[in-house]
Amino acid sequence: MNVRWTLVVVQFTVSIIFIVMAITMNRQFDYILNLNLGFNREQVIALPLNDDFRKKYETIKSNLLQYPNITHITSSSHSPNNINYSNPVYWEGRSPGQYENMSYDVVDYDYLETFEIKLAEGRNFSKEFSTDRQNYIVNEAAVAFMKMDSPIGKNVFDMAE
């Protein structure tokens, strides 16, 4: 009788633990799916690009934009939620010997508009400025990390350059 009662209690306890775990996992999935990541991820298709596609990117982009249901096309080295390029950088006010590794993404001019990413201050990249090919847009976390009041007009240097 004692063994039977112990087994029932153990089964009941394990069942409760599994139910609590299932509820917790469900809440975590809901949180992840509904989390505001700061960019629009609805109706976005991400495709990996091989070298042949990259060479013909502008032609393919202009052809695809002729379809009325395709509103934006952009390219980047990574998706906005999975940036894993990292290089040592230093910035105005730090000596070149004092650098930090920072993650970055290489994007084209339409990236912010395509993902509806809002800038806190400053401007988007523009084809009108040839220097924008080497410029950076930093996020608020990077500005806080660099301890800048405002990043506008400040220089950030990639050590790989």
Residue with tokens 């393919």: 60
Virtual CA dihedral for 62, 64, 66, 69, nearest 10 degrees? -140
User: 131-154: per-residue pLDDT in tens?
Assistant: 777 788 888 888 888 888 888 888
Q: Please tell me the distance from the alpha carbon of residue 64 to that of residue 43, in angstroms, as a whole number.
A: 15
Residue-wise pLDDT for 19-38, tens only, equals: 999 999 999 999 988 877 77
The ranges assigned to domains in the chain are: 1-35, 51-158
